[in-house]
Amino acid sequence: MLRHNQFKISLLLTLFLTFGSAAAALAAELRYTLSMPEPHTHYFEVEAELSGAKKKYVDFTMPVWAPGSYLIREFPKNVESFQATDKSGSTLRSEKIDKNTWRVYSNRADVVRVKYDVYAYELSVRTSFLDASHGYVNGTSIFMYPEGYQDLNGTLVVKPYTGWTTVSTGLKSTGKFTYTFPNYDILADSPLEIGTHKVLTFTAAGVPHEVAMYGEGNYEEQRLLADMKKVVEEAVEVFGELPVERYVFIVHNLERGGGGLEHLNSTTLQTSRLNYGTESGYTGFLSLVAHEYFHLWNVKRLRPLALGPFDYNKENYTTLLWVSEGITSYYDDLIVHRADFTSVDRYLAVVAGSINSVENTPGNKVQSVAEASFDAWIKYYRRNENSNNAEVSYYTKGGVLGHLLNMEVMEATKGEKSLDDVMRYMYQRYYKDLKRGYTEEEFKQGLQKVAGRNFDAFFRDFVNGTKTPDYNAYFDAAGLQLVNTNEGSNAINLGASTAMSGGKLLVRGVNRGSSAWEGGLNVNDEIVSVNGARAGDDLERRLASMNVGDTVKVVVSRDGILQTLDVKLLKDQSVRYQFMRVNNPTETQQKIFNKWLEISNG
């Protein structure tokens, strides 16, 4: 009986401590203030105030990466002048305990206020930037969080530089330049554009959309807004709902730029300011819009199990970036086609081009797309001169696998179902019903449920393996055949990428298995002469008269020492696919072709 009472006392004490801790967390308040009094110096000033914690010490942590961009970027390297005070302004002792954590000895003070500066001068979609023209904030590179209070709601007050009148962000506004957030994840996932930028608006699927345009561009406003609306509504069609009350596009129009980063109810896009003036540039921008907008569902809500809740202190590994990014790449061009911005022939050329890109990458035979996903942290964002030989892009190959999966689902269901149905099923089951991420096995099960067919071999050979698909076995479902126009050619391929620099012809890359690879050419070699003739920027012309099997003497300067290499010219093994329609397609083939490419049967 005594032991039983001791157990009850212990249980009550545990409950008291647990609920007491939870109550303390609920009683706490969090407030950030973001200032930029001297933007030309590129420093943001940040103040974070935690009230009601009353702990012996509080650890403030700066994330080391930005979700959606899988690289440890070491954001704490840009932090300076960290200091802590209590409510009265008295200094609190603090120390840095690891690379991204500052410990404040608060002595149970009611208010802990920390201030620090962040140097921000890298204008990319995954970092922060500040200069005399504008400020751009990516949350994980600016805002520390107090450990144990990541689920605490709070307030952000922005103090724009004098004369800056506009802030664009997905955060909910509660007053002029004042915003609220339900937890740190939302604060970190809501970029801000601050300055005097142009704000455009449109409504799609009943939801207001804001387009924050930093910088000039050769776009026509009304046309661009109408076309972005079409892209958005085509994306909504895939999932059948738009799970946001408002959406913000932040667009940086730069001299040179490209890429985007997804967020829960916003995105940041970068493009060349003159990109809108050509057909390819304009449709390319719309594809970027489609890609990042599609992430609103795929990744930000329907996500691999490892991608949320985030650990901001280290890598978050998954083998499924080929789904998160690759399947999204499959949809970006498809959505642009569905919105009538590309013809059928042009779209099929884009698909064939993606297959060519994968099959002409030597690393495709070395690294599986699952491995590419897992190793993104150490490889994809850290490419070197050998990356082409050792790696494959989970974007491009994932997109190609998306086409094959779509064909298999459509063939198995005689055109009644497609990859759209798989994505809808996965979204409903894992995001809406189970409210969690999914595993590779569960993604495979989703495909099997919709198609009524086993996908074990597909995943073994093409996802976790490096086997080359029989593309025609898949695209035959739509009455299409891939034809390699390089087949039968006896063209040679040196297999070395070169560039002129300071009057020297330098080797920049060597492809595995090529003439250059087998002949011993190295990256950074200066090609001095070929068969006794001085080399220059006409190397390809010199080699054009050679035949497969010929051996050429190549003199190179390697680390200042001349060497002569005997390079045997090998046959060009690259492929150049294009689609051809089969003669007399069956009724089912025509049905699948029409459904895939949204061609009216009438």
Q: What is the CATH number of domain 321-482+578-597?
A: 1.10.390.10
pLDDT of residue 42 exceeding 60, the answer is yes
Q: Which of 292, 195, 293, 213 is closest to 252 using CA atoms? A: 213
- Cα dist. 401→285, 405, 420, 470, 526 in Å? 23, 6, 14, 12, 39
Average pLDDT of the residues in 183-203: 98
Say how far apart CA 26 and CA 19 lie, in whole Å: 10
What residues does 258 pair with on adjacent strands? 271
* CATH class name, domain 496-568: mainly beta
Average pLDDT of the residues in 232-259: 97
Say how far apart CA 385 and CA 377 lie, in whole Å: 18
* The predicted structure's pLDDT at residue 18: 44
* The predicted structure's pLDDT at residue 26: 52
Q: Which CATH number fits domain 23-195: 3.40.50.720, 2.60.40.3650, 3.10.20.30, 3.40.50.150?
A: 2.60.40.3650
Structure-token match 């689902």, residue found: 409
Say how far apart CA 517 and CA 496 lie, in whole Å: 8
Q: What is the CATH number of domain 198-293?
A: 1.10.390.10
Measured from the Cβ of residue 91, the count of other Cβ atoms closer than 10 Å reads 9
Cα maximum dimension of the chain: 101
Q: Note whether 329 and 406 are within 8 A (CB).
A: no
pLDDT of residue 25 exceeding 70, the answer is no
pLDDT, tens digit, for every residue of 484-532?
999 989 999 899 999 999 999 999 999 999 999 999 999 999 999 999 9
pLDDT, tens digit, for every residue of 46-76?
999 999 999 999 999 999 999 999 999 999 9
* The predicted structure's pLDDT at residue 205: 96
pLDDT of residue 24 exceeding 70, the answer is no
Average pLDDT of the residues in 551-569: 97
* The predicted structure's pLDDT at residue 15: 41
Q: Which DSSP string do the residues of 421-471 spell out, in sequence order?
A: HHHHHHIIIIIIIS-S-B-HHHHHHHHHHHHTS--HHHIIIIISS-PPP-H
Q: Note whether 67 and 140 are within 8 A (CB).
A: yes
The answer to whether the bond into 309 is cis (omega within 30° of 0) is yes
pLDDT, tens digit, for every residue of 295-344?
999 999 999 999 989 999 999 999 999 999 999 999 999 999 999 999 99
pLDDT of residue 22 exceeding 80, the answer is no
* The predicted structure's pLDDT at residue 544: 83
**In the chain, where are the structural domains located?**
23-195, 198-293, 321-482+578-597, 496-568
Structure-token match 């990356």, residue found: 387
pLDDT of residue 537 exceeding 90, the answer is no
pLDDT band at 545 (very low <50, low <70, confident <90, very high): confident
CA–centroid distance for 188 within its chain: 16
Q: Note whether 263 and 321 are within 8 A (CB).
A: no
Say how far apart CA 251 and CA 436 lie, in whole Å: 31
Measured from the Cβ of residue 315, the count of other Cβ atoms closer than 10 Å reads 16
Structure-token match 């809808």, residue found: 424
- How is residue 125 annotated by DSSP? T
pLDDT, tens digit, for every residue of 90-134?
999 999 999 999 999 999 999 999 999 999 999 999 999 999 999
Give me 425's structure tokens. Answer: 């099923």
Long-range contacts of the stretch 549-553 (C-beta < 8 A, 24+): 550/492
Map 498-556 to HEC letters.
EEEECCEEEEEEECCCCHHHHHCCCCCCEEEEECCEECCCCHHHHHHCCCCCCEEEEEE
Q: Side by side, which strands form the sheet with 58-61?
A: 94-98, 101-104, 58-61, 145-146
Average pLDDT taken over every residue of the chain: 94
Structure-token match 């790449």, residue found: 329
* The predicted structure's pLDDT at residue 543: 87
What residues does 262 pair with on adjacent strands? 267
Residue 330 dihedral angles phi and psi, to the nearest 5°:
-55, -45
SS3 327: helix
Structure-token match 């090609």, residue found: 527
pLDDT of residue 163 exceeding 60, the answer is yes
Q: Where are the alpha helices (DSSP H) in 339-395?
A: 344-359, 369-374, 387-390
SS3 360: coil
Q: Which of 216, 180, 46, 176 is closest to 120 using CA atoms? A: 46
pLDDT band at 27 (very low <50, low <70, confident <90, very high): confident
Percent of the chain with pLDDT over 90: 92
Give me 362's structure tokens. Answer: 């030597």
pLDDT band at 541 (very low <50, low <70, confident <90, very high): confident
Say how far apart CA 598 and CA 114 lie, in whole Å: 56
Q: Same CATH topology for 198-293 and 321-482+578-597?
A: yes
Q: Which of 315, 396, 593 is closest to 480 using CA atoms? A: 593
Q: Note whether 171 and 187 are within 8 A (CB).
A: yes
SS3 100: coil
Ranking 71-80, 285-294, 420-429, 492-501 by mean pLDDT, the lowest is 492-501
pLDDT of residue 82 exceeding 80, the answer is yes
* The predicted structure's pLDDT at residue 4: 46
What residues does 146 pair with on adjacent strands? 60
Which burial class, exposed, middle or buried, applies to 3 when counting CB atoms under 10 A from its CB (0-12, 13-18, 19+)? Answer: exposed
Residue 74 dihedral angles phi and psi, to the nearest 5°:
55, 55
pLDDT of residue 5 exceeding 90, the answer is no
pLDDT, tens digit, for every residue of 360-384?
999 999 999 999 999 999 999 999 9
- How is residue 583 annotated by DSSP? S
Q: Which DSSP string do the residues of 154-217 spell out, in sequence order?
A: EEEEEEPPTT--EEEESSEEEETTEEEESSHHHHHT--EEEES-EEEEEEETTEEEEEEEES--
Say how far apart CA 316 and CA 94 lie, in whole Å: 29
pLDDT band at 227 (very low <50, low <70, confident <90, very high): very high
Say how far apart CA 469 and CA 284 lie, in whole Å: 28
Q: Note whether 91 and 83 are within 8 A (CB).
A: yes
Long-range contacts of the stretch 525-533 (C-beta < 8 A, 24+): 525/556, 525/557, 525/558, 526/556, 526/557, 526/558, 527/498, 527/554, 527/555, 527/556, 528/555, 528/556, 528/557, 528/562, 529/554, 529/555, 530/554, 530/555
